[in-house]
Amino acid sequence: MPSPPAPSVTVLGLGAMGSALAAATLAAGHPTTVWNRTPGRAEALAAAGARAATTVREAAVAAEIVVVCLLDHASVLEVLDPVADALADRTLVDVTTTTPEESRALATWAAEHGIDHVDGGIMAVPSMIGGPGAEVLYSGPRDAFDTARPVLDRWGQSSWLGDDPGLAPLYDLALLASMYAMFAGFFHGAAMVGTAGVSATDFARRAAPWLAAMTSELADYADVVDRRDYGGPGQQSLEFSDPSDILRASEEAGLATDVVAAVRALVRRQVDAGYGADGFARIVESIRNPGHDAGAVRADAEQPIVAGGTS
């Protein structure tokens, strides 16, 4: 039996990421229409067989699946709102980085205009698109995700997280938060050893296996955080985890202390509230209660988080 024709796709936005997404669908045989605000960015894709639309409306009506990959939520609305009628009954996949509330707002806007909307969070850089390491997180109605999936799977592993359109950006930004804080810690360490003439390259040779080994702690920390059981056995106490010595060493070396001071502030709020003997993971309560005295967060008022899954 001949295989069904590859669904057509439109890509709005030909920055570094949009161009990579369009190139991948084109290479996989999907009829691909592209549009970009600034003319001239479609040339390479057009030479490879893409149809370059001159207006958003022309691009929007050209395909069943319309992908939008722009700068931010505001630019997405600016581009889509004038052509909402042309998008009705189409599947809109927004892989622009947005906040969860922005994604939910776009979902509401889409529903009002009869558009099926899926939100995406790209966990890759453009050069990874179409390769084995790329993953894109999605959320929104499962049937819309399934409709778009033949296209989405061209970019990497497609992971659907649930109906709530805010879930994909929530995971996306939470993973990026983990990454940025880790990298900032690495850069702080590199600056520290740099004061003794050690190169960042040498430091990275030790930091990479050390940080990789430390990630084995995440599952145990997660269990403590979910159960909110910071007083259980085997936990390194907050008093022991106070990074004041790292701060002093950094000050002695004439370095900025912002990265370590941020961790110490989170620790201090819990210690000052009387939780110094509790485990280090309790700093999550400093994050969860930004405007409150940590002392107000009593163990008997804290509810465990029920484990949830994604598919």
Ligand X SMILES: NC(=O)c1ccc[n+]([C@@H]2O[C@H](COP(=O)([O-])OP(=O)(O)OC[C@H]3O[C@@H](n4cnc5c(N)ncnc54)[C@H](OP(=O)(O)O)[C@@H]3O)[C@@H](O)[C@H]2O)c1
Q: Which is nearer to ligand X, 78 or 302 (CB)?
A: 78
CA distance readout (Å), 239 to 206, 222, 235, 283: 26, 20, 11, 12
Order of strands across the sheet that contains 9-12: 51-52, 32-35, 9-12, 65-68, 91-94, 116-123, 135-139, 157-160
Minimal CA–CA distance to 152: which of 114, 121, 187, 110? 121
Q: Which is nearer to ligand X, 20 or 294 (CB)?
A: 20
Q: Which is nearer to ligand X, 56 or 266 (CB)?
A: 56
Q: Which is nearer to ligand X, 155 or 230 (CB)?
A: 155
Q: Which is nearer to ligand X, 114 or 133 (CB)?
A: 133
Q: Least Å distance between CB 74 and ligand X?
A: 7
Q: Footprint of ligand X on this chain (CB under 6 A)?
A: 13-18, 36-38, 41, 69-71, 75, 78-79, 96-97, 122, 125-126
Element (H, E) at 139: strand 135-139
Q: Least Å distance between CB 297 and ligand X?
A: 34
Q: Note the Cα 175 to chain centre separation in Å.
A: 5
Q: Which is nearer to ligand X, 13 or 279 (CB)?
A: 13
Q: Least Å distance between CB 127 and ligand X?
A: 9
Residue 218's identity, in one-letter code, is: L
Q: Least Å distance between CB 58 and ligand X?
A: 15
Q: Which is nearer to ligand X, 22 or 224 (CB)?
A: 22
Element (H, E) at 117: strand 116-123
Q: Of all residues in this chain, which one has the CB nearest to ligand X in the complex?
A: 15
Enumerate the β-bridge partners of residue 13.
Answer: none
In the block, tokens 């109605």 appear at 141
Q: Least Å distance between CB 98 and ligand X?
A: 7
CB 89 within 8 A of CB 114: yes
CA distance readout (Å), 255 to 97, 122, 199, 283: 33, 35, 16, 24
d(CA 9, CA 33): 6
Strand positions, DSSP E, 140-259: 157-160
Q: Least Å distance between CB 166 and ligand X?
A: 16
Q: Which is nearer to ligand X, 66 or 259 (CB)?
A: 66
Q: Least Å distance between CB 29 and ligand X?
A: 23
Q: Least Å distance between CB 71 and ligand X?
A: 4
Minimal CA–CA distance to 25: which of 42, 11, 37? 11
